[in-house]
Amino acid sequence: MPVQTSSRVPALTNIATRLRIDSVRATSEAASGHPSTCCSAAEIVSALFFSEMRYDAKDPQHPDNDRFVLSKGHAAPLLYAAWAEAGFLHRDELLNLRRIDSDLEGHPTPRLPFVDVATGSLGQGLCAGVGIALNARRIGSEYRTYVLLGDGESAEGSVWEAADVAAFDRIESLCAITDVNALGQSGPTQWQHDTEALALRWRAFGWHTIVVDGHDIPAILAALDEARRTKGRPTMILARTLKGKGISFMEDKAGWHGKAVKKGEELARALAELEGQFVAEDEPATPRPPSKVTRPAAVEARIGALAYSLGDAVATREAYGTGLAKLGAGDTRIVALDADVKNSTFSEKFEQQHPDRFYQNFIAEQVMIGAAMGLASRGAIPFPSTFAAFLTRAYDFIRMAAVSNLDIKMAGSHVGVSIGEDGPSQMALEDLAMMRAQPNMTVLYPCDAVSTERLLERAAYHRGPVYMRTSRPKTPVIYGANEAFEIGGSKVLRQSAGDVATVIGGGVTVFEALKAHDELKKSGISIRVIDLYSVQPIDGATLSRCARETKGRLITVEDHYAAGGLGDAVAAAVAREGFTVQRLAVLEIPRSGGPDELLDRYGISARHIVNAVRG
């Protein structure tokens, strides 16, 4: 293997030493952190940042910069030290690590312009790297994506979901490096220093795999060069390292994970050892600039005129697919991701029109959401969709997408008991609670085709993560084609001066509420009906006004468990004015049956609404 620029090796060696010193100093000042895992990867990061990667150190977000994802996010001080070495941060700033007024947090977040996705929940970085690398294809850029993993996190299943998808998609611009330091948090890692055991696994997944000494800079440079020349598949470099490298009392010793060097004699000893490792330099090592390409400015798309007529029966999941394909026609930033259910979520409509921006992840929801995070971090507007019940598998990724405040637009179909005979394993009955738990998550729940497409258009360009809940059954179109929908709004569908209660529904239960309205009207009882299509943010002003005008009686009806859903959202919105909410929701684990049977059996049909109003 050819070795790159051997005259730069002494400079890279000294950079690795400075990275160690800065990491130890920062964590000692913070009295917390992970200096040992920073020390093990110092040569890897030195070689990457100051020889291999092409990037503008003054503009970390340049679209053609090579990208770096620190999947082992607890090594954050090493990342910060690298950017200080590159000149983006002042070295003195590193001593603010973990302070409440500093963006140099304990694990990296996109508050820092050189961080694409928040990491630290292990097993996520490679999934994000898949999406970041796919984005290079989307925009026609030569940038490469590098992901640094720990050997401990390689036990996470999401790592292997990413490995499978990256190999299937032949993402040759993706290079991952595993820091095989053999020590985890509580003891040795699964395979310790058996790099061949790890290599067998990566090769089996179809990756070009290289094993190196992770402290041998010429070997690292040669491996990175080999990775760059490898075509048709991604590369994994397995770097055998020692945790705590360079500090005798820490090196390759258990018990140092998450433990800072104590100020005083212990710190002085560690720094003295590290400072004695500098060598004479032949040639300085500095970041290399990227190739820069001028691209046209992005343009927001509009769905335009809708072809639906009042009374048409259309499932909101189908309208989602129709609207998404229209958006994709007008904005190349729009991409779609699937987990082998495109013919049920109707994202196949997008694939049929824009196959180059449709990414199939098969039955692997974690990498689907993780790749969407990576795509969003580089300017794409990703729409990952699957059965809402299966998004629970990827919830840690959804949580980290919220931490990153990424523009990821998720859609979950087949929600609630209304899906019918498939039974409880397929019924999402906790997804509203799950999504509402993230304070910056927008949660939308349209009831018909018109509201679905109009809200989809709003969601695409709304800042931050969005979740849209879509239903399996066909529902009648109740809105005219020109009806406007705003995030944070609602629609009052029925009202009169004599209303005795306000019934609030979402999705399929809107139609149960309308049926109940018509049934009660026969006996001279009037109720108000609200379509609460925006669950978060919520239209608290309209809800409170309706409560005042209907004798304080608010009844929610939802195809969801009672905890955390529509009822709780409404209750929180009106509690300040002293109103309470009567909740109709699914109160037990359901079973298979017909949709109408299930709505009635579990207490959320028109009959139960009528009884609640009369009661």
For 495, left (φ over 0), alpha (ψ -120 to 50), or beta?
beta
| CA 249/CA 266 separation, integer angstroms | 9
Report residue 583: phi and psi, to 5°.
-110, 130
432 shares a domain with 383: yes
Look up the CATH number of the domain holding residue 317. Answer: 3.40.50.970
Does the pLDDT at position 3 exceed 80? no
* High-pLDDT (> 90) share of the chain, %: 97
Q: Which helix or strand (DSSP H or E) is residue 451 part of?
A: helix 449-460
Band of the pLDDT at 7, cuts 50, 70, 90?
Answer: confident
Apex 348 CA angle, 297 and 401, nearest 5: 60
353 shares a domain with 256: no
The one-letter amino acid at 424? P
Q: For the chain, give me the number of helices (H) and strands (E)?
A: 21, 19
Apex 377 CA angle, 372 and 379, nearest 5: 95
227 shares a domain with 185: yes
Task: Check 156, 351, 365, 512 and give the catalytic one.
Answer: 365
512 shares a domain with 419: no
Look up the CATH number of the domain holding residue 607. Answer: 3.40.50.920
* Inside any domain, residue 577: yes
Q: How many CB atoms lie within 10 A of CB 505?
A: 29
| CA 143/CA 228 separation, integer angstroms | 11
212 shares a domain with 97: yes
Q: Which two tokens stand for residue 108?
A: 């990296």
For residue 535, the model assigns a pLDDT of 98
Please check whether residue 306 is in contact with residue 312, taking contact to mean a CB–CB distance below 8 angstroms.
Answer: no
At which residue do the structure tokens 């060069």 appear?
A: 225
Which of 418, 445, 476 terminates a domain? The answer is 476
Which of 476, 509, 544 terminates a domain? The answer is 476
Domain that holds residue 172: 6-275
Which of 275, 300, 323 terminates a domain? The answer is 275
Give the chain's mean pLDDT.
97
Does the pLDDT at position 2 exceed 70? no
**494 - beta bridge partners?**
529
Does the pLDDT at position 1 exceed 50? no
Span 438-464, pLDDT tens digits: 999 999 999 999 999 999 999 999 999
Weakest-pLDDT range from 36-50, 85-99, 192-206, 289-303: 289-303
Please check whether residue 36 is in contact with residue 250, taking contact to mean a CB–CB distance below 8 angstroms.
Answer: yes
| CA 561/CA 28 separation, integer angstroms | 48
229 shares a domain with 80: yes
**410 - beta bridge partners?**
467
Spell out where 388-521 has E strands: 409-413, 442-444, 466-469, 474-476, 491-494, 502-505
Q: Which residues contact 138 (CB under 8 A, 6 or more apart)?
A: 332, 335, 356, 357, 375, 380
Apex 488 CA angle, 486 and 491, nearest 5: 70
Closest residue by Cα to residue 343 from 306, 303, 387: 387
Q: Which residues contact 175 (CB under 8 A, 6 or more apart)?
A: 144, 145, 146, 147, 224, 227, 228, 234, 235, 236, 237
Q: Which two tokens stand for residue 168?
A: 């299937």
Closest residue by Cα to residue 469 from 507, 513, 511, 419: 507
**Domains identified in the chain, total number:** 3
Closest residue by Cα to residue 464 from 499, 428, 438: 438
Q: Which helix or strand (DSSP H or E) is residue 21 part of?
A: helix 9-30
Q: How many CB atoms lie within 10 A of CB 305?
A: 7
* Inside any domain, residue 306: no
506 shares a domain with 468: no
For residue 595, the model assigns a pLDDT of 97
For residue 4, the model assigns a pLDDT of 46
The one-letter amino acid at 356? D
Q: How many CB atoms lie within 10 A of CB 546?
A: 25
- List C-alpha distances in Å: 288 to 49, 70, 81, 175, 314: 9, 20, 18, 18, 54
320 shares a domain with 197: no
* Inside any domain, residue 307: no
Band of the pLDDT at 5, cuts 50, 70, 90?
Answer: low
521 shares a domain with 447: no
Does the pLDDT at position 559 exceed 90? yes
452 shares a domain with 321: yes
Q: Which two tokens stand for residue 198?
A: 């790890």
Please check whether residue 487 is in contact with residue 534, taking contact to mean a CB–CB distance below 8 angstroms.
Answer: yes
* Inside any domain, residue 21: yes
Span 67-99, pLDDT tens digits: 999 999 999 999 999 999 999 999 999 999 999
180 shares a domain with 36: yes
* Inside any domain, residue 447: yes
Report residue 134: phi and psi, to 5°.
-65, -35
* Inside any domain, residue 214: yes
Through-space distance between the first and last CA atoms of the chain, rounded to whole angstroms: 81
472 shares a domain with 497: no
Weakest-pLDDT range from 129-138, 262-271, 288-297: 288-297
Q: Which residues contact 36 (CB under 8 A, 6 or more apart)?
A: 183, 243, 244, 250, 256, 257, 259
Per the model's pLDDT, the better-predicted residue between 1 and 196 turns out to be: 196
* Inside any domain, residue 136: yes
* Inside any domain, residue 219: yes
At which residue do the structure tokens 């850029």 appear?
A: 141
Span 230-286, pLDDT tens digits: 999 999 999 999 999 999 999 999 999 999 999 999 999 999 999 999 999 988 899
Please check whether residue 218 is in contact with residue 244, taking contact to mean a CB–CB distance below 8 angstroms.
Answer: no
For residue 552, the model assigns a pLDDT of 97
The dihedral through the CA atoms of 272, 273, 279, 285 has a sign that is negative
Is 273 tagged catalytic? no
Span 509-533, pLDDT tens digits: 999 999 999 999 999 999 999 999 9
